[in-house]
Amino acid sequence: MAMGDLQQTALHDLHVEAGAKMVPFAGYSMPVQYPLGVMKEHLHCRAEAGLFDVSHMGQVRLRARSGQAGDGALALERLVPVDLLGLAEGRQRYGMFTNDEGGLRDDLMIANMGDHLFVVVNAACKADDIAHMRSHLSDDCEIEELDDRALLALQGPAAEDVLSSLVPDVRAMRFMDVIAVDTLFGPLTISRSGYTGEDGFEVSVPNAAAPDLARALLAHDAVAWIGLGARDSLRLEAGLCLYGNDIDATTTPVEAALTWAIQKARRAGGAREGGFPGADIVLAQMADGAARRRVGLRPEGRAPVRAGVVLFDSESGGQEVGTVTSGAYGPSIEAPMSMGYVPTPLASPGTTLYAELRGRRHPVTVVEMPFRPATFKR
């Protein structure tokens, strides 16, 4: 796709001004790195605070036609295996849209804003997700894409100090709290969450005010722009899935080790058991186990073992047993890290497998994730 066909976010001019290298990503021209470079951006985010433009992601408002917030929650529960009726006002949950085979159409964040649900979906899936919600939920919900809003993530140990200088209310927030607040930058929706394993916030801001908000944040010495390159190594150290790599239409929540996101109310024997696409398959796998599972992998040595690398059960000969879905060098753990799918009997931490790299097999060890412990403010 030519750069000219790409959409731009409201922060595009700021990225160019900051010297970003812009690349096509999910139909948008996005910053992959700034002059600091991927490695230093990653470390800066962990040491101080990183600012990410994630405006390419889809922001959607779901409002129950009945005017009853619970009706919106119950409606969306038809598409996601998450307990939304039990999601308190001002709180956010991770979830996923399932398909009829129990696979994942997308993963998303869902917040209860009192009179509506605020949903954030992946850029590459947003058109499909919105069509999916409209086709299944329009009788009960008004579904509005908030394409007049940008999304900024501020992540890292200095995020609270920086953002609270502009929006004092954020100090009182805990991990996965969400607030709507009127500011000099217009009406903001702020969640205390992110995609780095760091404490931090995601801020939905009107497009017109987004550059001013970004400049106000960047005025703090602690804040630096972080591109998509470092965003990937940060999320991988945190053990978080990238839709399209680590999870997709062929991976179930059980295979993807995401059953923690399916609360008791939606499980077998729960108050609202099943009731989402592919529930029979997902609940059966929760009872009986799945044949494969997503695991963390630590390669021996320094060579990164990247997406697409094949895993074997033996140093020579043997069987092909799995595939790496994400892999990179982790700047904070100072070692390579990967995730991938392996047969469940080989998914126990400590299991040694072999990754075939440039014709040679390198030992990799199955490990617990995250690779680096999260620093959320719970």
Partner 1 sequence: MKYTEEHEWLRVEDDVVVVGITDHAAEQLGDLVFVELPEEGRMVVKDEEVVVIESVKAASDIMAPVDGEIVEVNEALVDNPALVNEDATGNGWFFKMKLEDLSVLDDMMDEDAYIKFIG
- Site residues, partner 1 (CB under 8 A): 33, 37-40, 229, 233, 302-304, 306, 328-329, 336, 358
Are 62 and 110 contacting, i.e. CB atoms less than 8 angstroms apart? no
Distance of closest approach, residue 304 Cβ to partner 1, in angstroms: 5
Distance of closest approach, residue 48 Cβ to partner 1, in angstroms: 19
CA distances from 288 to 253, 291, 307 (A): 14, 9, 29
- In whole angstroms, give the CA distance from residue 91 to residue 218: 28
- In whole angstroms, give the CA distance from residue 239 to residue 236: 5
Distance of closest approach, residue 337 Cβ to partner 1, in angstroms: 11
Cross-strand bridge partners of residue 354: 312, 363
- In whole angstroms, give the CA distance from residue 300 to residue 232: 21
- In whole angstroms, give the CA distance from residue 106 to residue 248: 7
Are 235 and 196 contacting, i.e. CB atoms less than 8 angstroms apart? yes
- The residue (of 36 and 282) whose beta carbon lies closer to partner 1 is 36
DSSP 8-class letter at 243: B
Are 123 and 26 contacting, i.e. CB atoms less than 8 angstroms apart? yes
Distance of closest approach, residue 39 Cβ to partner 1, in angstroms: 4
- The residue (of 30 and 121) whose beta carbon lies closer to partner 1 is 30
Distance of closest approach, residue 286 Cβ to partner 1, in angstroms: 37
Distance of closest approach, residue 38 Cβ to partner 1, in angstroms: 4
In terms of Cα–Cα distance, which of 206, 215, 147 is closest to 181? 206
Cross-strand bridge partners of residue 294: 341
- The residue (of 217 and 309) whose beta carbon lies closer to partner 1 is 309
- The residue (of 284 and 307) whose beta carbon lies closer to partner 1 is 307
- In whole angstroms, give the CA distance from residue 45 to residue 34: 13
Q: Which amino acid is at 197?
A: G
Distance of closest approach, residue 346 Cβ to partner 1, in angstroms: 26
Distance of closest approach, residue 362 Cβ to partner 1, in angstroms: 11
- The residue (of 9 and 233) whose beta carbon lies closer to partner 1 is 233
- The residue (of 261 and 303) whose beta carbon lies closer to partner 1 is 303
- The residue (of 155 and 233) whose beta carbon lies closer to partner 1 is 233
DSSP H/E element including 353: strand 352-357
In terms of Cα–Cα distance, which of 227, 237, 285, 365 is closest to 101? 285
- The residue (of 15 and 266) whose beta carbon lies closer to partner 1 is 15
Distance of closest approach, residue 181 Cβ to partner 1, in angstroms: 36
- The residue (of 23 and 166) whose beta carbon lies closer to partner 1 is 23
Burial 43-66 (b: 16+ CB within 10 A, else e): bbbbebbbbbbbbbbbbbbbbbee
Helices (H), the chain: 12-17, 38-47, 69-77, 126-137, 159-164, 210-218, 228-237, 279-288
Distance of closest approach, residue 307 Cβ to partner 1, in angstroms: 11
- The residue (of 183 and 332) whose beta carbon lies closer to partner 1 is 332
- In whole angstroms, give the CA distance from residue 340 to residue 305: 10
Rg of the chain on CA atoms, in Å = 21
- In whole angstroms, give the CA distance from residue 65 to residue 69: 9
